[in-house]
Structure 1
Amino acid sequence: MMQRLLRLLNLRRNEVPRLSLAALAFFLVAVDDGIVKAVASGVFNIRVGPQHLPQMYSWIAVVFFSTMVALSWLTTRVQRHRLVLSLFVLLAIVLAANAMALLGVETGAVTVGDGFYSFLFVSSELIRNVAGFQVWIVAGGICFASRAKVLFPLLAASTTLGDIGGGFLVGGLGRVGWDSWQIYGLAALNTLFVIGLLRPLMRRYFVTPAGESGSTATMRQNLDYFARSSYLRSLFILSLVLFALYTAIHYGFNVIARESFPEEAQIMGLFGAFFALAGVATMLTTTILLRHILSWLGIGNAYLWVCVIHAAAALLLVGVFGDWLPVSALVVIFAINLLNYVLLDAVIAPTYQVLMKLVPDRNADGTRMIMEGGFMLFGGLLGASVTALHAQDVLTLSQLFTGLAVASVAMAWVGWRLRQSHRQVLIQAVKDQDFDVEDEQAMQAMRQVVSDSVEFPRSLLLHADDGVREMGIEILKQNESAAAQVCEPLIDHDNPRIRAAAWQTLGASSVDQTILDHALRHLDDEDEQVRLSAATWSSQLVSGSELDPQQRQSVIDAVAPRLVPDAGNAELQTEFLVILERLDDADSSTARALMLESLIESTQVGEIVAGVDVTNRTAQVAIFLDQIRGHLHHHHPAVREAAVRCLSVDAGEGLTLLIDMLGDPDRDVVDAAVETLTGRFVADGQDGGRTLLAALDGASVKQWEGLVGVLSQGDDELVEALMPITRQQLIEAHRARVIVELLTQQGDEDETRLLRDQLELAIDSARQSAVRLLGQLGDVDVVADLMERMGEGDAGARENAIELLENIGNPQLLGPLLPLLTDDVDEQQQQAWELSGWQEAGRRIDLDTALRHVLQASDPWTQMAAGWTALRLGRPHLLQQLRDQLGEDVPEQVKEILELMSDHEHEAEGDQPLTNMEKITFLKGSPFFAALPLEELYHIALAVQEEAAKEGTCVIEQGSLGDKMYIVVAGQLEVRIFGGNDTEGSRMAMLSDKQVFGDMTLLDDEPRSASVIAVGDVRLLSLQRGDLERILRRYSSIAFSMMRILSRRLREAMAA
């Protein structure tokens, strides 16, 4: 049961204490809020009187604004957790001082005037607002460190329950005879308890999201942006006036409460009941009603309707206080103040947040400061000014509420203007491609705009910018009725790109005969993209809808004749195959089978991918399983990726093959393997998890990293089993660091490069796997964010990131992980020796022992690199020991090295051919191939051929068309350019060991731009055009290396 609940909330078991502690802290802070505001309001109303409230409202507005400015300044200079704890300590001191003063007044030991009660009221309001503000910052930080983002609303619910509990507590304690100082003192004691909870919570779990690195506007630029935006001006005016209306209605409630309840305990009970009910109403609104309200009204209309409700409420109050309606004034003002409270907290506040999302990122923070600081200050002062008119007997309550009704009607007009400008800003955001189609609230507002008029989405599809058109497609896909109105007239548009966009957008959830006829006719469209879009729409239709016999036959009649082998449009033929398979057309079954087989067995990459995709979409993988398995070794990554995705249904060798594909050099193929393995792992449950855990033993470095990525998404039991394995891998990473240090001290850089690079790869893999596991235990984005901070140049930021990782991370992993994250090389080496276990009683292991250890590695490529290094460093006895130990179980990669142990075999002379390992060594030293790991170099070395040239030989002739590129193994060559009848030419450059030449003509198919002539006897490695193209497809890092080399050559040529 517990495990099921954790899965539902996307929680790890280790997160439960954190969130329980946080929920309790937030609940108690909200209890304080309910107590403080009820007691302070009751005491002030009885002992001073509501006629002084306007002055208090002014003070609150000014003091709160000043406090926010001070906090903004302090936030940039004091660490967040220290600032929060310091503020809560200060709040506890103020609460305790107020409680002691109330006690002194109660016992007669202290005489106070109205000034103290004013301070009590203002400080209480300030305390509860600052505490609430800070605790939500804590909530954001804690939830940021958790992958369960549902926890933020859960913490919000606990806070609301605290509000309710605090309100009812005041009423209950008042009824049993507690004095105001006792209830207020309870809040002070409760705050001390909250500090005790927050301290470990902040120290261990609080993480602040890193700010965006992009440029932000200056305050002047933000002011200019605000002044020029009618949208923001309308939003500011409405927020300011609604805040003032809220203040005025709340003031009226205080006046009637004071008239109705002359006793302090009674009025505190009333305020307690009010704030408790307000909490209940707020929780119901935010958790149940708000989504439906905003969906029904529309985000842009929310302010307009709130103003209309305020106008109706004010008119009702006018009727009550003008003696037109014979109902209880207290009941009506209580209900309307409750509505007033809920509208501001549960409707206006979240609506404001959504509307502010349309402000560009560059201006967002600065504009928020201007807006929120402005309407809190001026809204409070305006509310104070309005209520002062009644407090000074200038207006009666009936006249005051009449003025509020008039103001609400005026604001309704401003709300209508906001609705219009919101629509314009939303449209402009889409056209500027500054609109997030993944944001549900933004899409909800956009659906309202689209449903109001089809002209706007139509303009998006007609837009010249491809990005805007794509955004229009995504928006219309989520509004099928509007999509039908917009797209039906456009499917016959003159512009083929617009025709294609219309078909891509049009919904296919129901059958419309007219549109179906258009789709079948457009299968003959002159534009290939339109034909494909129409075929894709038809495929979606037959997959998701039931066609009547006549419609079914019409589709078959239109599609079957177009099923043409070797048509050169594999994607289109794919859709035809899917359509006919979905319709179960018997007449074309033989043709479909032949075509699918021809696609899968084609030599064209696009056709193979299309064929494999069809087998997946039509559940025919089992029929072509052998061919699909064969494509796992195809030279093109797109083919391998498509084949990998089919292995989800391969019950035989599928799991083993997927694990093998985790070692693929292409990132997309590896991601597809991880995704497919994850799907199988979820389906297989615990059995699948145990199988993958067993596969870790003997996995290569890349496979290990992928397997950990899959397993880390399992349940707590599986992750607990993975923890010690990952920790051991981190220990091995430190041992690898020690071995790298010993190899570096050896001094033979070329001889040890392969092993050093392989060990660095293993270190990086262990580090990344541990980070991934840490992320799954908390939140992947948080850990990635902290890792990014550790890479910053600021030492303070790095130290803070390490401290936060220590706070939120698992100590079992963090102990060996943190030394691998530091930039201090000396510290890394020192920690590596300590954690490796190879430094005892002041003695360190020697290189022989280190090599012997790495020769026992589970990764065969690391074994291969270690064997080659041992051989090159003159330690063949280590290889003999390995042969004796492994017997017949020697990995294929190591066999070649064992065959070279004879001194005569590995002491190469000039005329002997290079071994495969020697080729790998030269390739590793070349700038073209230096970034590749041993596993990839091994396969490339099999493709290169060794050649020799005598002195004076023209290896490359200027003006010829070449089909090879070369790497210099030994000797020197000169690059000469000949012009006209010049027989000597001009020397442009000299080439020596490990340099590459002849590559440019393989890329641009142009004649050779220069001749390359051997200065003496030279040895070369050559690579044919076809092999290079295959390698470039398989290993993208080589393409980047080529780009860097060509770019450097271009700069040198321009400089010359």
Structure 2
Amino acid sequence: MNMERIIGALGARAEDQRKLILMAPVFFICGIAEMLNYNGFMTLFNQRLGSEYLPYVYAAEAVILPLEAWLLSWLAARLPKPKLMRVMYGMMLGIVAFNALVLLTLKLAGVELLWYYPVLFIFSNFVVRQQTILLWSLAVDTCQTQQAKRLMPIFVGAATLGGVAAGLLAQAISIGFGPETIYAVGAVLLLIAWRNYNQVIGKYLVPLSLKAEASREEAPALTTGAVFRHALRSPFLLTVILLMTFMPALYFLMEYQFLNVTRITYPSEQEFSRYFGMITMVLFILAFLLQTVSGKLMAKLGASQMLTAISAVYVLSFAAAVMLIGSSAALPIISAGYMLLYLLLYYSAEPSYQIFFKTFPLAQRDSYRYAAQGIAASAGIMAGAALQFLHSGLGLSWTLLSLAGLCGSVLLFGLAWIGRKYYMRELVSSVQSAGELDLTEQFEELVRNPAAMARISGMLKEENDPAKEIALQIIGRLQNPKDLPELLKLIEDPIPRIRVAAVRAMNLEHADLTAMVKIAAFLEDPDDELRAEGVRQIGRMKHMEHQALYFLRQKLLDRHPAVVAEAVKAMYSFNNAPSFEACAEVIHRILQEGGQASVYICRVVAELNLKEFISEVGKLVQDQHPAARVAAIACLGELGEDGLLPELLQGLPTMDQEMTRTVFHYFVQIGERAVAPLLGSLEGAHPKRWTIAIQALAKLLPEEEIRSRLIESALLRLAHLDDAAAYGAAFAAMGQEDMAQLAGLRMHEVRAFYMDGVWSVLGALADEQVVEAVRKAAGDPDEEIRSNGWEVLAEGVGDRRLSQRLLVLLEQEDSAGLLDRLPESGAQHVMEQALAESDDWWREMAVAAQQGEGENVSQEQAMGRLNKVVFLRQVPYFADLSLEELGLIATIAKESVWADDAKLLERGTPNTAMYVIVEGNVELTSTSAAGWEGTIGVLGSGDVCGVTSALDGTPSSVSAQSLLGEVRVLELAGDDMARLIRLYPEIGMGLLRASFARIRLLEEMMMRIDS
């Protein structure tokens, strides 16, 4: 409980606990190691070789960087992501450990190798640079988007506190030891962090990397040369690259001044190292404080103004250096400048650059980003080395060197100012083709710039309707009352979408009566969506309560229930007692009527938490309209009414997908009150009931109770599949081939039910994203991907026993014929087991097999569910459906008998049902354009008529009547079939395939007639 409170205080959730406990120490320890390494090699290089050689080392780094990028790209192309992450960490650990060993050996031997320090600098700087990238890459790859938003600030805080700890540790170590020891301690800490780092990869990254995205089509990546050529043609891109180049170059100049001034002030290694440690500590304390306000600063200033403000700090820092570099205040001024530029460059400027690239097309955005960063990285280091060389090579004084930095800062400020204007221009251009996500990200930038918003407002006058819609989305988010006059002009637009978007974008909280009257005109518009939006806007006009309520009361009698529902919500928002009475009367009436209209009112009752209507909503659970039943259950779940729980548990086996999902959410919303009934229902439960109960319990129970209460139940269910696998073989041995085929279908469905439940339990015990990746990989058609997924299950994910038992099931499923062997006890013993099953399908099959039913089903006058299913499987329309889908169709199928010459369909008359012929013949006739009537064809057992008119509600194009005696049919209501097609696309596909076959047959008939 204490841990949960701590995690909650950090802004994380309970499901983040396992990942947080593993990863936060990695960031903290590696943060310490990184800064100790940096302190160690910078002290050694500057004190023993001399900071005047920094320009040459940086120049060498600029040359090496492309080779480094090539090496990393080569490794990334040849290694799986988890192995790459391990190899990279091992490479860095090896570099630091080797250097630490060399340094300690040289110190013990009393040997000084000056040429070694540039090598140490280059390799150690590679580790510092890549370590940060590696850790953030690991965090991004292992955290889904919403989880990353919660955990990234914690990881940043852990790394920052690691820097503070490194500063304190460096000061403590430097008292009795040298920089070699500081460097070596960093290597030891990297080794300590390896255990957690490796566990994170094994538990999270390996499963998530099972299925590579190689099949996903991507736009071809742009080369660096192509980006450079584009930059020469694009002032905006060129400005961005120059900013990304000059900002680090000027930082390197300030760093050079800081290191030299510090070395002059503290000539001994111990003093230098101690001061450097103190600066590191202060730097990361400031970084930690900056993290608390950086989000607010970015929200207030935006990316472009943020970079302009950072450039201004650069100017002030170098101006102070020019004035005070020769005084006694040089060290504190230069140190402060160094810390400021470090913080602003790495903690504020880098995120701002990333926002700039959002103006580029999504498919090529990463290519532009990486290519521009590659150009700027090499050019920035080279430019920084050139600025440092002005002092080390040309002998420029410190004052003149600071003056050069000041001139560069002024140039940087000018670039940032110009770039701000270019950015706004690009941003406005990009929103015309932006998606919803991009608009969300770009909105804050647009609203800060009056010129940009003026251009957005100008888009309202364009003829381009998509441009108008985008402009209305942006203006609607701003909700500025000053935009109302322009928006009112659009309410006469001929395009309904534009009118709705314009009304939605209006802020009417302070509008006058004229505006209200114009909006009220929408309340009689023939478009239902527009009337509903008009009601919503009238409801926001609280300053004219009486007038608003006058219009809203009229809409309580609107012809569309969605508009009535909006009127009820709007009237409740006024908190007016007479309005409550009027609304209650409408709610009572619609709930009593039931049907489709009650769906909207149920949602309103739930949203407004109107518990006084619980009893009336409860009656809708038995409504004849499925949508009303679903809405009622969802509403009662929102209201926390648990009285339905036993009834819903009992009815789960016969529910369709939509109802099943709704019931699952109902159980979860009820919360702790659902736990005891759900736990009590697990033993001996129908497969579907067990699955939904176990999935709900996996959401409701803490990890300890899941392990103690659900694991055994899941293991027993998987073991039960071994017994159920024999049913098909037993039916076949008894000569019941129809039952054997149905048993195969049911076995597949039951296995799917149990596996859904097991995966839910594993997901509750491990990271859901990881378990979902393993699940996809374990069922992948590619053998290598599938075997990798199985390997993760073998290692154990969530719970080792359950994971490995699931693997056994998957391996059995992959082995043809392994599951369907008849046991030695014989078919009769198997039938006795089937009769005792909790699954009604197995029981019905066993009864039918023992009684010899299933043969000559069409001769029986009354068809049970199983007989209907056996028959429907022989109909081409339904031949490829699962047993669950066939069962749902059988449930809605009504058996009826039509006398001889009775008309099932009448040409030109609307038809509400389709008919599946069980016995008898049906003649299809139609009338030609010339007025003569002719026979199109004669249908027999297994044929279907009336499909098209039943599903689309159009008059029948043919007449159908019984021929040569009675006709027995299964009647399927069009509304029920349409709903099943929506929930089960395979049903619709079956209808399409059969329809296409009939069309081909008609085409062949026409060809024969023509010939």
Name 2:405's counterpart in structure 1.
Answer: 404
Say which of 762, 775, 795 aligns to 1:774. Answer: 762
Change (3 A) 1:596 1:420: same
CA distance in 2, matches of 1:1053, 1:409: 81
CA distance in 1, matches of 2:810, 2:120: 51
Decide whether the 8 Å contact of 1:737 with 1:759 is kept in 2: yes
Name 2:300's counterpart in structure 1.
Answer: 296
Say which of 866, 876, 889 aligns to 2:842. Answer: 866
CA distance in 2, matches of 1:575, 1:958: 41
By how many angstroms is 1:70 displaced?
1.1
Name 1:945's counterpart in structure 2.
Answer: 895
Change (3 A) 1:492 1:83: closer
CA distance in 1, matches of 2:358, 2:810: 36
Q: How does 1:617-1016 map to 2 (within 5 A)?
A: 617=607, 619-620=609-610, 622-623=612-613, 625-626=615-616, 628-637=618-627, 640-642=630-632, 644-649=634-639, 651=641, 653-657=643-647, 659=649, 665=655, 667-681=657-671, 685=672, 687-697=673-683, 700-714=686-700, 715-720=702-707, 721-740=709-728, 748-804=736-792, 806=795, 808-821=797-810, 825-827=813-815, 846-858=826-838, 862-863=839-840, 865-873=841-849, 875=850, 910=859, 912-930=861-879, 931=881, 933-934=883-884, 937=887, 940-941=890-891, 943-947=893-897, 965-969=914-918, 994-1003=942-951
> Are positions 1:552 and 2:545 aligned together?
yes
- The residue type paired with residue 337 of structure 2 is I
Name 2:602's counterpart in structure 1.
Answer: 612
By how many angstroms is 1:180 displaced?
3.1
Per-residue CA distance 1:481-538 (angstroms, 9 max, x = gap): x3x2223441353226444323322346678777556545654568654443221123
> Are positions 1:379 and 2:359 aligned together?
no
Name 2:974's counterpart in structure 1.
Answer: 1028
Change (3 A) 1:526 1:137: closer
Decide whether the 8 Å contact of 2:714 with 2:757 is kept in 1: yes
Name 1:568's counterpart in structure 2.
Answer: 559
Per-residue CA distance 1:302-360 (angstroms, 9 max, x = gap): 22222222122122212223x5xx45211111110011110111101222233334443
CA distance in 2, matches of 1:403, 1:103: 40
Secondary structure of 2:612's aligned partner: coil
Decide whether the 8 Å contact of 1:959 with 1:1009 is kept in 2: yes
By how many angstroms is 1:74 displaced?
0.9
CA distance in 2, matches of 1:965, 1:816: 46
Decide whether the 8 Å contact of 1:146 with 1:779 is kept in 2: no
CA distance in 2, matches of 1:845, 1:283: 72
By how many angstroms is 1:613 displaced?
3.9
Decide whether the 8 Å contact of 1:145 with 1:808 is kept in 2: no
Decide whether the 8 Å contact of 2:99 with 2:120 is kept in 1: yes
By how many angstroms is 1:266 displaced?
1.8
Decide whether the 8 Å contact of 2:877 with 2:993 is kept in 1: no
Decide whether the 8 Å contact of 1:754 with 1:934 is kept in 2: no
Decide whether the 8 Å contact of 1:608 with 1:639 is kept in 2: no
Decide whether the 8 Å contact of 2:476 with 2:505 is kept in 1: yes
CA distance in 2, matches of 1:155, 1:844: 60
CA distance in 2, matches of 1:993, 1:807: 53
Decide whether the 8 Å contact of 2:142 with 2:204 is kept in 1: yes
CA distance in 2, matches of 1:273, 1:851: 81
- The residue type paired with residue 767 of structure 1 is M
Decide whether the 8 Å contact of 1:43 with 1:268 is kept in 2: no
- The residue type paired with residue 665 of structure 2 is E
Secondary structure of 1:206's aligned partner: helix
Say which of 210, 218, 221 aligns to 1:219. Answer: 221
Name 1:244's counterpart in structure 2.
Answer: 249
- The residue type paired with residue 259 of structure 1 is I
Decide whether the 8 Å contact of 2:61 with 2:381 is kept in 1: yes
Say which of 270, 273, 291 aligns to 2:275. Answer: 270
By how many angstroms is 1:473 displaced?
5.4
Decide whether the 8 Å contact of 2:223 with 2:371 is kept in 1: no
By how many angstroms is 1:96 displaced?
3.6
- The residue type paired with residue 712 of structure 2 is P
Decide whether the 8 Å contact of 2:845 with 2:866 is kept in 1: no
CA distance in 2, matches of 1:327, 1:904: 105
CA distance in 2, matches of 1:905, 1:983: 44
Decide whether the 8 Å contact of 1:147 with 1:778 is kept in 2: no
Change (3 A) 1:911 1:918: closer
Decide whether the 8 Å contact of 2:311 with 2:413 is kept in 1: yes
Decide whether the 8 Å contact of 1:705 with 1:765 is kept in 2: yes
Decide whether the 8 Å contact of 2:872 with 2:886 is kept in 1: no
Change (3 A) 1:626 1:984: closer
Flag structure 1 segments of 5+ consecutive residues without an equivalent. 876-900
Secondary structure of 1:712's aligned partner: helix
Decide whether the 8 Å contact of 1:680 with 1:688 is kept in 2: yes
CA distance in 1, matches of 2:797, 2:857: 56
Decide whether the 8 Å contact of 1:27 with 1:158 is kept in 2: yes
Decide whether the 8 Å contact of 1:962 with 1:1002 is kept in 2: yes
Secondary structure of 1:965's aligned partner: strand
Secondary structure of 1:36's aligned partner: helix
CA distance in 2, matches of 1:370, 1:538: 52
Say which of 487, 490, 496 aligns to 1:490. Answer: 487
Name 1:880's counterpart in structure 2.
Answer: none
Give aligned-pair identity as a percent. Answer: 21
Flag structure 2 segments of 5+ consecutive residues without an equivalent. none
TM-score, length-scaled by structure 1: 0.83
By how many angstroms is 1:36 displaced?
1.5
Name 1:318's counterpart in structure 2.
Answer: 322
CA distance in 2, matches of 1:1003, 1:82: 54
Name 2:156's counterpart in structure 1.
Answer: 156
Decide whether the 8 Å contact of 2:878 with 2:991 is kept in 1: no
By how many angstroms is 1:381 displaced?
1.6
Over aligned residue pairs, what C-alpha RMSD do you find? 4.1
Secondary structure of 1:59's aligned partner: helix
By how many angstroms is 1:1052 displaced?
6.3
Decide whether the 8 Å contact of 2:391 with 2:398 is kept in 1: yes
> Are positions 1:194 and 2:193 aligned together?
yes
CA distance in 1, matches of 2:406, 2:563: 64
Change (3 A) 1:379 1:942: closer
- The residue type paired with residue 187 of structure 1 is G
CA distance in 1, matches of 2:680, 2:428: 55
Change (3 A) 1:740 1:146: farther
Say which of 304, 311, 314 aligns to 1:307. Answer: 311
Change (3 A) 1:296 1:993: same
Secondary structure of 2:914's aligned partner: strand
Q: How does 1:45-84 map to 2 (within 5 A)?
A: 45-84=46-85
By how many angstroms is 1:954 displaced?
10
> Are positions 1:134 and 2:83 aligned together?
no
- The residue type paired with residue 564 of structure 2 is Q
Change (3 A) 1:241 1:1035: same
Change (3 A) 1:919 1:149: same
- The residue type paired with residue 870 of structure 1 is A
Decide whether the 8 Å contact of 2:921 with 2:962 is kept in 1: yes
CA distance in 2, matches of 1:666, 1:225: 54
Secondary structure of 2:188's aligned partner: helix
Change (3 A) 1:1039 1:668: same
Name 1:124's counterpart in structure 2.
Answer: 124
By how many angstroms is 1:914 displaced?
3.8
> Are positions 1:37 and 2:56 aligned together?
no
